[in-house]
Amino acid sequence: MYMYLENYVNEVNEKLQTSVNNVKEWYDNNLLAVNATKSNILMITTKQREHFLSDKFTKLQNMDSCKYLGVQIDKYMSWNQQIDELSKDLNAKVWNLSCLRSFLLHNTLMDLYKRFIQPKIDHAITIWGYAN
C-alpha cells in the first residue's frame, strides 16, 4: 500500500514540477515575472495520509489553506475557515443593519440586506453549504 502511494506521490510531484516549469516558461515568453515566494501548493488530503505525504513535496511551500475566488479552502476541505470568516463578516454587517433599523424604512433595510448580506451568503454556497 505505502509503496503504491509513494510511487503515486512521486508521479504527482513530477507532474506538478513540469506544470510549474511550463507556467514559468509561459511567463518568461510573455515578459512577465513569476514571484516564486508567493507560489505554493495546497495538498487536499485526509488526516490519515497527511503525515505520510507532508514531506514529499519539497520544491514548493505547502499551505494549510488558501483563498480561491473568495472561498477559503483548507487541506481537509472541512470549510471551517470559510464558515468562520463568513460568520464574522456577516455578524458585522447584520449588526450595522440592526443599528440602522430605527432610522430607515423597512424597504430600505431590505434593499441593503439584498445588496450586502444575501450575496455573501449565496456566494459559492453550493460548494461549501453542505459542511458539518
Cell numbers describing residue 76: 481537509
State the total domains in the chain: 2
In a structure prediction context, what are the per-residue pLDDT tens digits for the chain, which is 132 residues long? 556 666 777 787 788 888 888 988 998 999 988 777 777 777 777 777 666 665 555 555 677 888 888 888 888 888 888 889 999 999 999 999 999 999 999 999 999 999 999 999 898 888 877 776
What pTM value is reported for the model? Answer: 0.60
* Whether residue 57 sits in one domain with residue 96: no
Give the pLDDT confidence score for residue 71 in this predicted structure. 85
The range of the structural domain enclosing residue 12 comes to: 2-63
* Whether residue 97 sits in one domain with residue 59: no
CA atoms within a 13 Å half-sphere pointing along the CA-CB vector of 1? 2
* Whether residue 57 sits in one domain with residue 16: yes
C-alpha span between 131 and 83 (Å, rounded): 9
Residue 70 lies in a domain: no
The residues, ordered by sequence, that sit 6+ positions from 13 with a Cβ below 8 Å of its Cβ are 56, 57, 59
* Whether residue 18 sits in one domain with residue 45: yes
* Whether residue 84 sits in one domain with residue 119: yes
